[in-house]
Structure 1
Amino acid sequence: MTDTVRIHCLNTNEYKDVRVGSSLEELIEVFGVKKPYLIANAKVNNKTESLTYQVYRPRRVEYVDISDSSAMRTYVRSLCFVLSKAVDDTLPDAEVYIEHAVSRGYYFHIESNVEVGEKELMAVKKRMQEIIDADIPFIQVEEEIAEVVKLFRENGMKDKALLLETSDDLLYARYSKLDNYIDYYYGCLLPSSAYLHLFDVVPYNGGFLLVVPNRQNPVELEPVIPQQKLLKVYREHLEFLKISKLDNVGDLNKAIRTNKISEIIQVSEAYQANEIADIAKEITERYNDGLRVVLISGPSSSGKTTFRKRLEVQLYVNRLKPVGISLDDYFIDRDLTPLDEFGEKDYESLYAIDLDLFENQIITLLNEEEIELPSYNFVTGKREFRNRRLVMDKKSVLIVEGIHALNPKLTEHIARDKKYMIYVSALTSISLDNHNWIPPADNRLLRRIVRDNRYRGYSARDTISRWDSVRRGEEKWIFPYQENADVMFNSAMIYELAAIRRHAEPVLQQVPRVVEEYSEAYRLLKFLRYFNYIADRELPPTSLLREFLGGSSFRY
């Protein structure tokens, strides 16, 4: 029996025979891999693995540093583990809740029988640094699911126990150990605490913020950018979840299994309907003071279109006449689209829009004169005119929907008091458990994969391959303007990932194992397994989720 195995390292494009059982961490030195920043994990046969992964068969390996999204997730996940242990060590009987990403960091709060202020936070930070300096290994333990559930229950971690015992098709589960502290994370961890070279924890809006390295320049911390409106929306939805007794995904799965999901869907849909009615009421009140334009923005797959249609219905109820247009119809011809820094067509750029035509037509409409709307043909990449006429009158309000709607340059010649700005995004508030939040970007990516496959004929591989470019565009063209909004609308529903699962899985399973995008497809498939299925028949035809899953009573 041979004691070596052949490994192909893509970073150096070398093949070497290495000792059977070598870890990926050891092979960094064997291959002499150099990366600009900290190497946090690797792709093994296009599947993301921890650096503690051992090779026993021929493999293709590609190392990634923390400028890569998967590696940064590994870093942040490991840092959250250290934070949780530090809280456990310094504040007996306390529990840390890591809720969501905000202000370029991760918002958390600590529930304790003593008041947790800046002094206590500094003690936690000091303990985190001690754990990092001690170079404690993150150890993965795999056991039968019943044993892992029992262990978590014995340690008072009911959220993790419920998540695992209600997830589908799990015979075994892995939990992690950091010294004498156990926890559960659904992705890779670093080999040891000493890898965590950069972090901070600071007081933030009644809770605390875990500050992490900047992904573009990981030798520096992310700047803390105030996002008061975003935090407010999260807090409102977390309060709604607590009232609904749905703190985490385990609670949602339990509700599905006990036939209570219909009620949850009805309440969730009613909650959104009430928010839309409140927004329509405020627009109506401001209309009487001169408001004429409503601008709706948000990142990809945030549900802007259905939100706009539901808002228009509500405005009709309020005896206004909404006139809706989409910025997508103002794209310049595809061959004229500007390029990004990577030489790729930047469809997210503001300058992919014909700004002159848009502004001229807006002003014409506000003067109550008729226009002919353009239409963009996504197949040919060309603008067309199809005799679509539009005009406003004294009771009309113009609704503009598109990713750039909150960018001041788009409507710079329209007075601020005539504009009402709405930011729409899927701000996923339900968490897997107390330490594992669900990134809104994952929620939106799953929506987009399903929609692109159903309506645009794109494969999951196509959508995943463009996602990094989309995200870069959002960081540059959308997120900087979200706090300009008069109101933020959360389009994410408590139940939606359980409903998306049966639509997303077949599409993700078609991604070939031999392509680069398989790594992300595999990660999303693993993630979806935490959710029990919900049948489509439970969703009303006006649900915002129907924009992606099909069966909507709205025309798109």
Structure 2
Amino acid sequence: MQEINVVVMLSNGEEESITVNENTTLLELAQRFQDKYSRPIMLAICNGRLRELAKEIKGDSRISFLTMDDKDGRRTYERGVVFLMQKAIDNIWGIKNNKVRVCYSLGQGLYCVFTREEPSKENLGKLKTEMKKVCKQGLPIKKESLKSIEAEELFKKFNMTDKERLLHYRRSSRVNIYDLGGIKDYSYGYMVPNTSFLKYFDLIPYKEGFILQMPGRHSTEIEKFEPYDKLFSVMKASKQWSNMLGFGTIGALNDEISNGHGEDIILVQEALMEERIGKIASEISKDRRKKFIMIAGPSSSGKTSFSHRLSIQLSAKGIIPHPIGLDDYYVDREKTPKDENGNYDFECLEALDIVKFNEDMTALLNGEEVMMPTFNFKTGKREYRGNTLKLAENDVLVIEGIHGLDDRLSHTLPIESKFKIYISALTHLAIDELNPLPTTDGRLIRRIVRDARTRNTSARETIAMWKSVRRGEEKYIFPFQENADIMFNSALVYEIAVLKVYAEPLLFGIPRDCPEYFEAKRLLKLLDYVVPLPADSVNKNSLLREFIGGSCFNV
């Protein structure tokens, strides 16, 4: 058998050259190098292309490995665990008798529900034991290529109507189907080679279903599940609303758009959002002690447009809103803390002059006139340009910023004077019954479109900085989300169909030879399932206009 030369690029930056037989699998090579990695290897990059470990090596190659620390590796692991769960359910009850639905992400896990059985401790104990058993068996997960129409028929036979409906809109003539001991599925991404990779998980009863808990982001340990009751409640309500109207999945949305009902969906969704914003304004207006409306949320949640729309609703109730930008309370640049790489950390709480902020807000609460600051981003200094503010009886301050829910920001202000709002685009549209559309994907697509339009930032640059953005959110926003008085879901059920038109050309512009190409390719594959919807019918005050342009607000 012919020998080939392989250069393995290790995680520490070193390279190791070895000779192997042609047709050696990436799995065999991964097993050889696993002890040089702290986390299990899930995928490989072979000659610049993402590859599953079951793939054989053809010819001289440069190879690096992705573990559960890498986003593509973690996604591969999560897909595998869901597939493992399907197989275990079939072994116990029969998959036709007790299907499972994966509803949405929650913390480090996935919230799931059974269609027949109760999620009792006894049943979850049975399921966990069976999953562990199948894991130890190391059953192979085989991939086969089918014509798209054959795959549609296959899922119709298995009564997996969401997948059948979705594949109807797939433009590719063939799709890859995975088989685990007779259970077949389409996974929308890469898969592990066998069940022995899927050792780390837990099943935890929660609400009407259970959490399929995954390992922490940087260990194989299963973290303790922290309930997010407010977040769950908002996501559940949004999901119920979209299911009630009949477009809870991408396939169902495609059907509506294809049948000429796209404009109706936009009108209904926007009417619902206006009603919800109005209810928030009503709640604020009932308690005149509320003077500080603190709004916080992760990137691309539509915070600015939401602030404008909330201000209009408050004005309609006789309350006069005044916007306050937390950015104007930045400390002078040379006093800004630096991160571990020596760069200014503008997202940390200490980048703000907390003392001055509290002094000014307390003075305003006491009816005093305050000279308001403006931060000059060119000079890196705070300036005073003669802008003064004094609160009257019916005035409130609308304060938008990432630290709005952290009481350390406003520690001197009375609790009863604050009304905290957490806003995020909590996507309630599902790809199918086992694959919720990731909330982070929705926000990333929003940001790619907005940054290209308003900041002349390429899709490649936006994807490159997304990891840093997410790190800031996990550190400064998500830990405080349950502190909110109310949570607002800014996701629009139709938005992915509108964003597709703007995002696809930007993503196609990312070269194949750059690291961001893998993420662009994944997002393009997701958008390929979606029927486009023109933006003509999107309201001028819609939160979506903050990203695609044409807003009546200054955003």
Contact 1:46/1:518 (<8 A) preserved: no
Deviates more, 1:149-158 or 1:516-525: 516-525
Distance 1:447 1:381 in 2: 29
The question of 1:107 aligning with 2:108 is answered: no
Seen in structure 2, the aligned counterparts of structure 1 residues 297 and 46 have a Cα distance that, compared at 3 Å, is farther
Distance 2:382 2:176 in 1: 53
Residue 329 (structure 1) shift: 3.0
**Which residue in 1 is equivalent to 2:137?**
134
Contact 1:346/1:473 (<8 A) preserved: no
Which blocks of at least 5 consecutive residues in structure 1 are unaligned?
A: none
The residue type equivalent to 2:169 in the other structure is T
**Which residue in 1 is equivalent to 2:102?**
98
**Which residue in 1 is equivalent to 2:272?**
271
Give the 3-state SS of the residue equivalent to 1:166 in structure 2: coil
Distance 1:382 1:48 in 2: 46
Deviates more, 1:23-32 or 1:308-317: 23-32
Contact 2:7/2:17 (<8 A) preserved: yes
TM-score by length of 1: 0.94
Deviates more, 1:117-126 or 1:314-323: 117-126
Contact 1:45/1:514 (<8 A) preserved: no
The superposition leaves residues 270-320 of structure 1 with CA deviations (integer Å, 9 ceiling, x where unpaired) of 111111111110000012xx1211111111111111111100000001110
Aligned residues: CA RMSD: 2.1
User: What is the identity percentage for the equivalent residue pairs of Structure 1 and Structure 2?
Assistant: 37
**Which residue in 2 is equivalent to 1:190?**
192
Seen in structure 2, the aligned counterparts of structure 1 residues 46 and 223 have a Cα distance that, compared at 3 Å, is farther
**Which residue in 1 is equivalent to 2:507?**
508
**Which residue in 1 is equivalent to 2:287?**
286
**Which residue in 2 is equivalent to 1:494?**
493
Contact 1:136/1:193 (<8 A) preserved: yes
Distance 1:335 1:533 in 2: 47
Residue 49 (structure 1) shift: 2.7
Residue 41 (structure 1) shift: 1.3
**Which residue in 1 is equivalent to 2:230?**
229
Contact 1:135/1:194 (<8 A) preserved: yes
Number of residue pairs the alignment of both structures matches: 550
**Which residue in 1 is equivalent to 2:44?**
42
**Which residue in 2 is equivalent to 1:22?**
24
Contact 2:361/2:413 (<8 A) preserved: no
**Which residue in 2 is equivalent to 1:148?**
151
The superposition leaves residues 76-127 of structure 1 with CA deviations (integer Å, 9 ceiling, x where unpaired) of 1100111122223322311101011114321100011x54422222221121
The question of 1:324 aligning with 2:323 is answered: yes
**Which residue in 1 is equivalent to 2:479?**
480
Distance 2:333 2:148 in 1: 52
Contact 2:119/2:210 (<8 A) preserved: no
Residue 5 (structure 1) shift: 4.6
**Which residue in 2 is equivalent to 1:457?**
456
Distance 1:194 1:372 in 2: 64
**Which residue in 1 is equivalent to 2:355?**
356
Contact 1:23/1:51 (<8 A) preserved: yes
Deviates more, 1:361-370 or 1:68-77: 361-370
Give the 3-state SS of the residue equivalent to 2:104 in structure 1: strand
Distance 1:4 1:209 in 2: 47
Residue 475 (structure 1) shift: 1.3
The correspondence for 1:199, drawn from 198, 201, 216, is: 201
Distance 1:543 1:476 in 2: 29
Contact 1:118/1:203 (<8 A) preserved: yes
**Which residue in 1 is equivalent to 2:302?**
303
Seen in structure 2, the aligned counterparts of structure 1 residues 387 and 43 have a Cα distance that, compared at 3 Å, is farther
The residue type equivalent to 2:181 in the other structure is D
Residue 248 (structure 1) shift: 1.0
Residue pairs, 1:114-133, within 5 angstroms: 114-133=117-136
Residue 531 (structure 1) shift: 1.3
Residue 515 (structure 1) shift: 2.0
Distance 2:201 2:239 in 1: 26
Seen in structure 2, the aligned counterparts of structure 1 residues 535 and 44 have a Cα distance that, compared at 3 Å, is farther
Contact 1:138/1:193 (<8 A) preserved: yes
The residue type equivalent to 1:122 in the other structure is G
Distance 2:367 2:486 in 1: 27
Give the 3-state SS of the residue equivalent to 1:162 in structure 2: helix
Distance 1:3 1:344 in 2: 50
Residue 47 (structure 1) shift: 4.0
Residue 8 (structure 1) shift: 3.4
Distance 2:383 2:172 in 1: 52
Distance 2:378 2:193 in 1: 47
Residue pairs, 1:79-94, within 5 angstroms: 79-92=81-94, 93-94=97-98
The residue type equivalent to 2:245 in the other structure is S
The question of 1:247 aligning with 2:248 is answered: yes
Deviates more, 1:479-488 or 1:380-389: 380-389
Seen in structure 2, the aligned counterparts of structure 1 residues 292 and 175 have a Cα distance that, compared at 3 Å, is same
Deviates more, 1:97-106 or 1:360-369: 360-369
The residue type equivalent to 1:255 in the other structure is E
Seen in structure 2, the aligned counterparts of structure 1 residues 249 and 243 have a Cα distance that, compared at 3 Å, is same
Distance 2:383 2:141 in 1: 58
Contact 1:104/1:225 (<8 A) preserved: no
Distance 2:332 2:497 in 1: 38
TM-score by length of 2: 0.94
Deviates more, 1:544-553 or 1:497-506: 497-506
**Which residue in 1 is equivalent to 2:535?**
536
Residue 229 (structure 1) shift: 0.2
Distance 1:30 1:223 in 2: 33
The residue type equivalent to 2:290 in the other structure is L
Distance 2:179 2:359 in 1: 62
